[in-house]
Every structure is written in structure tokens, then in C-alpha cells.
Structure 1
């Protein structure tokens, strides 16, 4: 992939919009990462689920990105900004996942920093939230590394893995972007 097709480029990773052409690579990575993702998230696992997932990002209230290893272009993670509200609020809710073959190498940290800069730059947002199940230590460490602040606990916040789950609310605002690694 040409570097001109990326929205943002870092030292090790780059981000670009999720594309329907990513389907086979994405689904293969989801299969390889099932143990890593359970019980925290349930990414699309079939072609039909992927098509519905990708279609969600064609409106004004969601943005979907893949994080790619810069030298090979291989997908190493996915990040989305959901429930984008404009006007005085200018906020969105983050969703993200590393993929098993590349998990633990810091790629998602680098990719999320690029997405945050994109959100506060071209997208014109002011606030991003990450809602994390308290037991998801990897996700908690990710947002802590980037400087998110813990704002509280939302009981029974999201329906995940067959039950309503509590989530911690972590937030990052445009004023905090200067502290990104």
C-alpha cells in the first residue's frame, strides 16, 4: 500500500479507513485472536458480519480504522470511533482491538495515538471516551499509557458476552493531546 493512502503515519504503524477489501485478512485475524478477545469483545467473525460492520462506517456518526504495520502494510489492529456527536459536545466513544499475531508489541498504542490526533485534528472532536470492563487489564494499561483519565464506573453499561457488564469510563480531551507519546 502506498503511504499516500494512509490517514496518518507513525514510526512503526499507520492508520487508514477500514475497507471492504480488508474482509479476508480481517476475518482471518479475528479467528486467530478469538482467545485474546473473549470475553471482552466479539468482532465480526463471518463475511456477513464483516459487511454489516464495514457498512456502519459510511455515516457521519462513526469512523472505522485499521492499524497497519508500516513496512508490510499488514493489519495489526482495529480502532473505531462510535457515537460521534458534533455541535457543542464533539465527542466519540472508542472501540479497539489488537490482533493475536501482533499483540503485545505496542502497535495498538501507536495506532491509537494516531487515531486520537486524527480525531482532534481533521475530525474536529474535543473528547474521546474508552469504556472498559474493569477486568480487562490489557485495555486499561493501553489507555493509561496514553494518558487517559479515569472518570468513573458505569454499572451494567454494555451488553457483552451474554450479560450487562460494568465499564470504567476513561476519557481523553484535546487539551491532553500534547502529552501523547
Structure 2
């Protein structure tokens, strides 16, 4: 009987001490949470013109967390998209460029284009801009960057179209050379410089 009294007494005092220490810590946590909520409410009520960079970053993070919509396949960055499958049964062994075209489908590709005749930078920009416009009119969307006085980069979102672009460019009078994947294709302008 004495043992059961001490057992009950131990349980009672242990429970009492736990409650004595836990309740104040819970109240302290609630106070911190209330202060945090007040700060969040104050931030939400702030005029957007008064937002700091930290406020904008917090707003962006909340926006991203709440955004449950999945992006469509064509909106994803290239490195997150699933690569198109290459069908090797359609591969013609006599034309290795076909394999390159198939492997670059849906991937960004950059090609270098050189202008013949030692042009000034302004002249080369005008010529490559004309080529870009002609290709755009043919439904080939290309971004152009000048990298030197006589050389430009043409960037395509769909790399499989690069050889179609190359075929157009090498027929131009002022095209010296087109380079795709480290392979050079001489243009019509290279024949005039060799003479």
C-alpha cells in the first residue's frame, strides 16, 4: 500500500512539474506567434510603393508557394523539358546531317555567320538584319547577335531548323561562311573572295 502511494505521488508530482514548465513555454510561443502575425499583417497592409527589396522578395516567395499551376511543356526551360525521341529507323546513313537535325529538334542551337568583303560593323549589322528579316518572313524565328565586325550569331529555338537556315544563307551574295556545330559551310561570298 505504501509503494502504490509513492507511485501515485511520483506520477502526480511529475505531471504537476511538467505542467508547471510547459504552460509558460507554450504561452511564450503563442506570444511570439502573435507578434509574428502582427508583423505579417503590418507588412500586408503596407503600401506597395513603400515596399523594400526584402518585402518584394517575401511577396514573390509567397506567390511561388501559392502557385500550384504546373507550367506547360513549351513554357518550361529547355533543361527541364523532356527531350524529343530520336527515331533511328528514319536515319539515312548516306546523309549524316539528318541525324544532327533529328538530335537538335526542340533544342536551342547557335550558328555563326560571317559576312564577306571586309564590311564595317554597321554594314554587317545591316546585312545580317536583312537576312534575319527574310528568314522571319519564312516563319523561322531567329535571334541575332553581332560578335565582331563581320560575324554574327544566329540563335534558333528549334535547332533542327538550322540546316534550312544554312541553305538560305549560303546562297546569299555576301555570305562568306556558316558554321554549325563546328562544321563550316562556305557561302556564295567565299567564291568571290577566292577569285
* Structure showing greater relative contact order (alpha-carbon pairs closer than 8 Å, 6 or more residues apart): 1
Say which structure is richer in helix.
2
Q: TM-score range by the shorter chain?
A: under 0.3
Say which structure is richer in strand.
1
In terms of Rg, which structure is larger? 2
Q: TM-score, normalised by structure 1?
A: 0.21
